[in-house]
Amino acid sequence: MRPHDLLHTGATLAAATGASSKELVNRLGHASSEAALRYQHATQDRDAAIAAALSDLVEKAKKNP
């Protein structure tokens, strides 16, 4: 394992916790946000959780207008 691999692992884990693209760019030390886009695959589970939470809010609003 190379130090560069650890950097990518850290960025993937940070993305999975919900780090924004700007935060990932800062952590990686890159000048553009294009590099951060590589780690967005780690946000798929988080996106599903956000969608479920939004759905719950809509259902609650329907029951209590």
pLDDT digit string (tens) for 22-63?
888 888 887 777 777 776 666 677 777 778 888 988 998 889
Provide the pLDDT for residue 41.
Answer: 66
Query: Which residue type does 41 have?
Result: H
Answer whether residue 12 shows pLDDT above 80: yes
Residue 23 domain boundaries? 3-63
* Tokens 């692992």 sit on residue: 9
- Angle at alpha carbon of residue 44, lines to 26 and 49, rounded to 5°: 105
Backbone angles phi, psi at 2, to 5 degrees: -100, 160
- Per the structure, the count of domains in the chain is 1
